[in-house]
Chain A
């Protein structure tokens, strides 16, 4: 190494002395400085000057005191009044849900999205299966065996206001009736009163008999 190179190296090391004193050099640079200090007494003397400056700077700054409580009061008054950002307690549910998903790591969020998509597809498949399944999925009363729609004799019935659901169920069961539609506006039900079509006179007689039942408010034959 020439003397010119040695001089350049010394200058470069000397520039690092303040950071060596503060302990903020990388390990590699700190080792370079330590080696140079060990072999160069003049550099070691200058390092002592740096250490004096270091101590004086800390003493000077520590003598500056601290801000009053006013600084903190001002800050939090501004934060509470800040229209750009509100403290969490004052924000809406939507913002907090947004914060929750925003705080998740991208990998977690990706896996959660995949799981949600799978759940939605599975649910859609299950609903589709239920919808396309034949008779098994339909509502039937115990008293009404499977009958083709439109087959039988029908009446329109509005039950008395005091009739309870329990009363109505017992009435339908006892007479082997079957509600096929309703209630429509006005509380009218279409009720199958026979599994086969009845002659008009027979249906009329049945209607008159039903009209006398205290549970029936109104009854009329229909198709």
Chain B
């Protein structure tokens, strides 16, 4: 239902309907923001990028062919913008942000586990995944994208989507094990 409504909005936006643009923005900007924020790890940058993403939607609406869901199309644009922004950033700044995002591992694993419940540790380990792995985990679990849609957004074959997700989950298990949680898999 929402998918077809999104398509109607896009056709109105293609005709220059500013109100339709406001509706689409209200409907999707939080998810697009979170997707971008997880990639760039900077709130101000993420806010700037979502303005650019939706400006592209405004400009390119007439070219939208409906071969994918509108949200999939927007996440593709968002991903491109985020990766371009990351390429523009100095390496040192990126490393500092990545380091800040991963919690201090100086505690003994047992102490860490005692401090926090398993869910909290799991969330921290999800944050510690590489950008490539974070991206695919978010697209599958949070943005509820199918194998085909993830392939379209990331620009990789469907078989690669499945294997990349498998290795992202495997890495997550390794991070959990380092924090004292052995899931018995893989």
Contacts and interface: CB of A to CB of B under 8 A. Distances in A.
A72 B18 CA distance: 12
Nearest to B125: A56
A75 B140 contact: no
Contacts, number: 124
Most buried by A among B33, B38, B142: B142
Interface stretch (A85-93, A192-200, A206-214): A85-93
A56 B126 CA distance: 8
Contact of B137 (A15, A57, A71): A57
Contacts of A84: 59
Contacts of A46: 185
A60 B126 contact: yes
A72 B122 contact: no
A interface, by DSSP: helix, strand, loop or mixed?
helix
Contacts of B48: 71, 74
A16 B166 CA distance: 9
Interface string B155-186: 00000001101100100100000000001110
Contact of B38 (A16, A19, A64): A64
A31 interface: no
Interface in A27-79: 45-46, 49-50, 52-61, 63-64, 66-68, 70-72, 74-76, 78-79
Nearest to B186: A46
A103 B30 contact: no
Nearest to A99: B15
B169 A18 contact: yes
A49 B137 contact: no
Interface of B: 11, 15-18, 21-22, 25, 29-30, 33-34, 37-38, 43, 46-48, 50-51, 54-55, 58-59, 118-119, 122-123, 126-127, 137-138, 140-142, 144-147, 149, 162-163, 165-166, 169, 172, 183-185
Given A71-B50, A72-B25, 11 more contacts: A15-B163, A15-B165, A18-B169, A22-B140, A22-B144, A23-B144, A24-B140, A53-B122, A53-B126, A59-B119, A71-B48
